[in-house]
Every structure is written in structure tokens, then in C-alpha cells.
Structure 1
């Protein structure tokens, strides 16, 4: 069973890889990769292994090879703050996919000098952009234009499920409010912010095998 959201004439397919596939736009949407974060921790003396980011790249490659998108949009926090050598690793990796156009809506952690972005694989946007029925931003928009749905990230949404024996599990999730879809953090080296959905919201939990509607 495919988990999806139908907004007007646009179908948004929620992927277990923590991304959204929109067939009508031939585009994939991803939020909060935070590539290079492990290197910053190692500079501070915390031994975080770099392969954690290689798993993220393998995940992205799998999505591109499965869906063959024309465009991939990163909804902010692509790279974690100051420059380190992983920026080159990321751009070399993306260079393998000459058939794909990569786009970046800048987030609060995307603070590299503009020259790095100019020489990168990305078309960069400093403010939210409109794409068909979608409004793309990093942080959730407070005011969403009429007849649009805001795709965003920043929050790293998660949900805590509690069983009858009081056992619990925390899952990344897609968090759908009226006219707004907050994507899970794509990067593995990120935390979760537990959400408190309202009755009008929908939550889709993510496991290794599938996306599960939890509240609707």
C-alpha cells in the first residue's frame, strides 16, 4: 500500500526513504540532509564515523535510480554549517547524475559563502519558491498562499508510539497539517522533535519497510 496525499491535482507520494515523490512534476523533495555534520563533531573531539553520511548518499542514489526524477529539491539544511571537505564529496557524488537538476532552498544551516554555491551542482533559492501547487520553504510558513500546499522541513518531526505494555518506540514521520506537509529529516545523523498533532492533522510514521498512516 502506497501512502500518499492528494492535494488538488497533485499527488504527493511519501517514501520510506524519507522523501516525497511528485510524479506530475517529475521531482523528488528532501529536507534536512545535514551532510558534513559528522566532520564538525570530529573536529570537536567526538568520534562520529563518516560512513553515516555515505549511507545517506546511498539512500539518495537509490531514490534517483528508482524514480528517475528530472529534478531533486533540497528544502534547506543540506550541509551542516561551516565548510569542510565533505562539501566536495557531496558535489562529486551529485555530479554522477548529469540527467538530474538539483535545487536548494537555503536553510538556517546553509551558511557557506555564496561562491561555494555558485560553483556547485545546485540552483540556489534564498527565499520560498512556488512550483505548481507547491510552496517550497525550509521553515514552515505561517502564511501559505491560497490554493497552495507548503512543503518544508526544519522541524525533524517524530512521533512516539506507546504499546499496551507501556513499551514505546519513536519514529520519524511526515507531519501533514491543512495545506502544509513537514518532511522528516533525510539525514541519519539528526535528532527528532516529537510532535503533538491535532485532530485535523495527519501523521505518517516511517519504518525500514514502509510508510504507515498513524493519525488521519
Structure 2
């Protein structure tokens, strides 16, 4: 965990690829892509069944540890059409009746709107909580700082012997910030940061600022 003081707010950047926003007691998660593992397994890909539960277990652990009042999903919560992972996710919501869950809908959130009716989660296109404007895809807001997902940001780190490795990161530019993808098997989009951007690299259980 690394504390980032941003716009007079305290953001805890977590190695689980989420943010705990202390001032609002809110957990921020982008691109969970629940359902993706089960979708791939149905298509015949050799992915271990337990992988379908790891992201849900991590979410459960984060809520239990940080006790947020709000959980904001910044889009692409569920990757595919209905499958068993959605039922597991609905059960998880019921474990935390005092938490306010909000989905800022993303391009992969293709479930029918009735799928959300029997959950405790509200679904919106965007959300404003000063000083932030939350969307799925990066946008520019006239007065608020935009936080989003969608891009799955990552950086390429050079190693000895001309080797390189790709690692997920948190990105904070002048007007926009982008969270890493929370889910597994989501891929990375390698970014090219500008001079005054803040980049925080996630390596295992460590979050550190790029020099």
C-alpha cells in the first residue's frame, strides 16, 4: 500500500490494483471483468477453475479489511453474458448490506438491466464526488478531475541483459487518472507518461512510484 495525497485527498494505492479513498471511505475498482474466466473456460481454454474465484475473494477481503461505506466499480464489472460468476457476485453483495455499491457502466457491461434489479447495486453512466468525476473511459470534465478505467494501464520495465517486463500501474495525469485493471487475464496497455505525470507501479505486493 502507498499513500498518495492528491487534490487534498488521501488515496491509498493498493497492490490488489484498487484504491481506498480515505476521505470518502470508498473503495475504487476498475475493470474487474468478473465472468471472464468462466467465459474462457466454456470456450475451451485451459484456465484453472479456481481462477474464477480469485478476484471475488480479493474483493471480499478488501471490503472486510477496509470497511468502506461505498464501493465504486469504474466499469467493465462483468465481462460477458450471464454465467455462474454473476450469481457468486450477487451473493457477495448480500454479505455487505451496509455498503453502498455503484457501477459506472462500461462497454463490457452488457447484462440486461433486469440483471441488476435484485441486487443492492445502483447503475449509472457517470458519478461526481468532488473533487472527482468518475467514468469508465477517460473523459475531460470542466471542473472536476476525471478518474476512470478502461485502458488497463501498464509500463515496460527494462531489466539486465536487454530483458523487459510489463507491469500494471496507477496513472495520474494533469486532468485524468486511470486505475489498473482489477481482474486477471485482462492484458495491459503500455502508456507513455508525460513529464509531470505520476506513475505508480504494482509489482507483486508492492506499489512504488516510478522515477
The interval holding the TM-score normalised by the smaller chain is: over 0.9
What is the match of residue 138 of structure 1?
136
What is the match of residue 2 of structure 2?
2
TM-score of the superposition, structure 2-length normalised? Answer: 0.94
Q: Could you report, residue by residue, the CA deviation over 1:160-210 in whole angstroms, capped at 9, with x for unpaired residues? A: 100243222211100111121100000012111111111121211002222
Q: Could you report, residue by residue, the CA deviation over 1:70-118 in whole angstroms, capped at 9, with x for unpaired residues? A: 0100000000121112111111122111221111000000011110012
CA separation in 2, counterparts of 1:119 and 1:20?
Answer: 27
What is the match of residue 77 of structure 1?
76
CA separation in 2, counterparts of 1:189 and 1:93?
Answer: 21
Q: Summarize the alignment of residues 99-110 of structure 1 with structure 2, pairs less than 5 Å apart.
A: 99-110=98-109
Q: In 1, are the aligned partners of 2:52 and 2:85 still within 8 Å (CA)? A: no
Say if 1:208 and 1:164 are closer, same or farther in 2 by CA, change over 3 A.
closer
* Secondary structure at the counterpart of residue 2 of structure 2: coil
Q: Summarize the alignment of residues 154-169 of structure 1 with structure 2, pairs less than 5 Å apart.
A: 154-169=150-165
Q: In 1, are the aligned partners of 2:16 and 2:205 still within 8 Å (CA)? A: no
CA separation in 1, counterparts of 2:49 and 2:81?
Answer: 16
* Secondary structure at the counterpart of residue 55 of structure 1: helix
CA separation in 1, counterparts of 2:191 and 2:52?
Answer: 26
* Secondary structure at the counterpart of residue 135 of structure 1: strand
CA separation in 1, counterparts of 2:122 and 2:200?
Answer: 30
CA separation in 2, counterparts of 1:50 and 1:152?
Answer: 29
CA separation in 1, counterparts of 2:27 and 2:10?
Answer: 12
5+ residue gaps, structure 1, are none
Runs of 4+ in 1 over 3 A off after TM superposition: none
What is the match of residue 166 of structure 2?
170
Q: In 2, are the aligned partners of 1:53 and 1:188 still within 8 Å (CA)? A: no
Q: In 2, are the aligned partners of 1:15 and 1:21 still within 8 Å (CA)? A: yes
